[in-house]
Chains A and B, each alone.
Chain A
Amino acid sequence: MSHARHRVGAWIGWAFFADLASALALTFGYMFSRSVTMQYPDKEKWLPYPRYRGHHFLTRDEKGEIKCVACELCARICPCDCIEVIPYEDEKGNRHPAKFEIDMARCLFCGLCEDACPADAIALGQQYEFSSFSSSDLVVGRDDLLGKPGKARTGGGVVAARLNTEQDVLVETSEPQGYNWWRNIRRT
């Protein structure tokens, strides 16, 4: 009985394009739902998670001395061969890099250099906006690397694109769990 009614219903649905109509209704509903687009770089931008691997940076110790001891382990382990270290020895006999260059255009951001470093001198930070018009601009030297921002301290959120300093960003970030990418996506 119900089987027969089901069949009749299916045929009526077929004759009046029930499936096409429900598809149209679905897309119409979607048209008025919120869009998930993040308007980078005009309005919003994304904050990386703490474990995000972005632009490298070199660190200094408490005395302000560069931590790197120019052991070249990072250059050895790098799968892309994109680190170039030339050491020098200062008056006290400590080794430091005279030249420390990373070719960002070749780096694959694997983080092996960070793992290999015995002095915790190099790490991959939060900065991800370093596109350029020429690949020679992407060869970054020692002093630039010392000035780059460190590890991300925020939990992957979205903030207004006008926020530039880390302090602003930390104040604005209110979602410690990170940005819920799926919160606007309808799942029915």
Chain B
Amino acid sequence: MELIVALGLIVLKVALLIAILLLLPLPLTWLERKIAGHIQQRMGPMRVGWHGLLQPVADGIKLLTKEDHIPDDADRFLFKLAPILALAPPFVVFVAIPFGETVSVLGTEITLYVSNMNVALLFVFAVIGIEVYGVIFGGWAANSKYAVLGSLRTCAQMISYEIPMGFAVIGVVMLAQSMSLLEIVRAQADVWNIVYQPVGFFVFFVAGLAEAQRIPFDLAEAEGDLGAGFHTEYSGIRFAFFMVSEYAIVFLVSVLTVILFFGGWNGVLVPLPPLLWLLLKVAFFVYLFIWFRFTFPRYRYDQLMAIGWKVLLPLSMANIIITGIVFS
């Protein structure tokens, strides 16, 4: 009996997580277009629903009913595989992400995470790395010049940010003496990691921008010079997959930043429910992503690699060494 309840709970949590992640792009696209509009002194969507609130729904219906076009010369297998490859990893990663300790519903304590892995951080980085293959395959399979250039840039940029990103979190792991995200948050109950690890945060966040392929590092899409980059040839539902994947990663990087450097669900001063604290902080970082997008220009990809190898990597290494010396 207990086993069945536990199993049911897990299934329920996973279903809830998938539903939330699939619906996430709806509010996020609306927010993004609204913020973009107001930054450029426009209004953004206004016509569908109150202040365009139903615009994402209309867009979703449009995407679902549009022709799902596959180019003649495309590698059909990879072309169909790529959106799934891009979509699945961000979803899988959330299995290891905690959103809080426990809540009690009807007298039962329910944990706000699907699994508490002791190598959660490693798992996250390992799985999220696969997402890049979706982008690379998608650009390659479409057999279009723009798409190939987009995925080529992704290949070049991937290594240069993933290594500093991995190094940046080592400082956090050293402080918490654990790779479990739950332990990392517990270790920040008094002082958030940002106090000890400002450099780590900086490197992580910049690399996270590149990971989410957002401006200033959205080289793979680069609307200005590559059409739509790696998903130039995608349409309809497969294009929607890439969109969902992009927003899931934006959300993931924000959640990770909060968990690793900003104390997770630990609040300061104002006693709010822990989950609310977490969501508030995540919302701030999501806003930051959008704000950056409509402020900064795009870096050239040799500049991105120069930043990755010549700035972020030495910085993150120095961070590890100094953390090691100070806290040993």
Give the distance to chain B from A27, nearest Cβ to Cβ, in Å. Answer: 4
Residues of B within 8 A of A185 (CB): 41
Q: What is the CA–CA distance of A42 and B47 in the complex, to the nearest angstrom? A: 8
Q: Which of B35, B42, B291 contacts A37 (CB 8 A)?
A: B42
Q: What is the CA–CA distance of A42 and B48 in the complex, to the nearest angstrom? A: 12
The residue of chain A having its C-beta at the shortest distance from the C-beta of B202 within the complex is: A17
Residues of B within 8 A of A32 (CB): 38
The residue of chain B having its C-beta at the shortest distance from the C-beta of A42 within the complex is: B47
Give the distance to chain A from B112, nearest Cβ to Cβ, in Å. Answer: 33
Report if A33 contacts B (CB, 8 A): yes
Q: What is the CA–CA distance of A34 and B40 in the complex, to the nearest angstrom? A: 10
**Interface readout for B35-46 with A: 1 if CB under 8 Å, 0 if not?**
101111111001
Q: What is the CA–CA distance of A82 and B321 in the complex, to the nearest angstrom? A: 80
Report if A128 contacts B (CB, 8 A): no
Report if B294 contacts A (CB, 8 A): yes
Report if B295 contacts A (CB, 8 A): yes
| Residue in A36, A37, A42, A185 with the greatest tally of chain B CB atoms within 10 Å | A37
Residues of A within 8 A of B37 (CB): 35, 37
Report if A23 contacts B (CB, 8 A): yes
Give the distance to chain B from A65, nearest Cβ to Cβ, in Å. Answer: 46
Give the distance to chain A from B58, nearest Cβ to Cβ, in Å. Answer: 16
**Interface readout for A1-32 with B: 1 if CB under 8 Å, 0 if not?**
00000000000000000001001101110111
Residues of A within 8 A of B47 (CB): 42
B43/A30 in contact, CB under 8 A: no
Residues of A within 8 A of B294 (CB): 27
A-B CB proximity, top 10 nearest: A27-B295, A37-B43, A31-B38, A35-B41, A27-B39, A35-B43, A31-B39, A23-B295, A36-B41, A37-B42
B46/A42 in contact, CB under 8 A: yes
- How many A residues are at the interface, by size bracket? 10 to 19
**Interface readout for B289-308 with A: 1 if CB under 8 Å, 0 if not?**
00110111000000000000
Residues of A within 8 A of B296 (CB): 20, 23
Report if A174 contacts B (CB, 8 A): no
A30/B40 in contact, CB under 8 A: yes
Report if A135 contacts B (CB, 8 A): no
Q: Which of A30, A39, A184 contacts B38 (CB 8 A)?
A: A30
B interface size (C-beta, 8 A) = 15
**Could you write out 5 A-B pairs with CB less than 8 Å apart?**
A30-B38, A37-B46, A39-B46, A42-B46, A185-B41
Given contacts A23-B296, A31-B35, A42-B47, contact A184 B41 (CB under 8 A): yes
Residues of B within 8 A of A27 (CB): 39, 291, 294-295
Q: What is the CA–CA distance of A184 and B42 in the complex, to the nearest angstrom? A: 11
Q: What is the CA–CA distance of A132 and B144 in the complex, to the nearest angstrom? A: 37
The residue of chain B having its C-beta at the shortest distance from the C-beta of A32 within the complex is: B38
In B41-65, the 8 Å CB interface with A consists of 41-43, 46-47
B295/A34 in contact, CB under 8 A: no
Residues of B within 8 A of A20 (CB): 295-296
B41/A33 in contact, CB under 8 A: yes
Give the distance to chain B from A160, nearest Cβ to Cβ, in Å. Answer: 16
| Residue in B41, B43, B46, B47 with the greatest tally of chain A CB atoms within 10 Å | B41
Q: Which of B42, B292, B295 contacts A35 (CB 8 A)?
A: B42
**Interface readout for B153-169 with A: 1 if CB under 8 Å, 0 if not?**
00000000000000000
Given contacts A23-B295, A24-B291, A24-B295, contact A30 B42 (CB under 8 A): no
The residue of chain B having its C-beta at the shortest distance from the C-beta of A28 within the complex is: B291
Q: What is the CA–CA distance of A184 and B46 in the complex, to the nearest angstrom? A: 19
Q: What is the CA–CA distance of A26 and B291 in the complex, to the nearest angstrom? A: 11
Residues of A within 8 A of B42 (CB): 35-37
Q: What is the CA–CA distance of A24 and B216 in the complex, to the nearest angstrom? A: 13
Give the distance to chain A from B299, nearest Cβ to Cβ, in Å. Answer: 12
Residues of A within 8 A of B295 (CB): 20, 23-24, 26-27
The residue of chain B having its C-beta at the shortest distance from the C-beta of A34 within the complex is: B41
Additional 6 contacts, C-beta under 8 A, given A27-B295, A30-B38: A27-B39, A27-B291, A31-B35, A31-B38, A35-B37, A35-B42
Residues of B within 8 A of A42 (CB): 46-47
Give the distance to chain B from A43, nearest Cβ to Cβ, in Å. Answer: 9
Q: What is the CA–CA distance of A34 and B37 in the complex, to the nearest angstrom? A: 11
| Residue in A30, A31, A32, A185 with the greatest tally of chain B CB atoms within 10 Å | A31
Q: What is the CA–CA distance of A34 and B291 in the complex, to the nearest angstrom? A: 18
Q: What is the CA–CA distance of A57 and B292 in the complex, to the nearest angstrom? A: 52
Residues of B within 8 A of A36 (CB): 41-42
Residues of B within 8 A of A24 (CB): 291-292, 295
Give the distance to chain A from B274, nearest Cβ to Cβ, in Å. Answer: 29
Q: What is the CA–CA distance of A142 and B295 in the complex, to the nearest angstrom? A: 54
Give the distance to chain B from A180, nearest Cβ to Cβ, in Å. Answer: 15
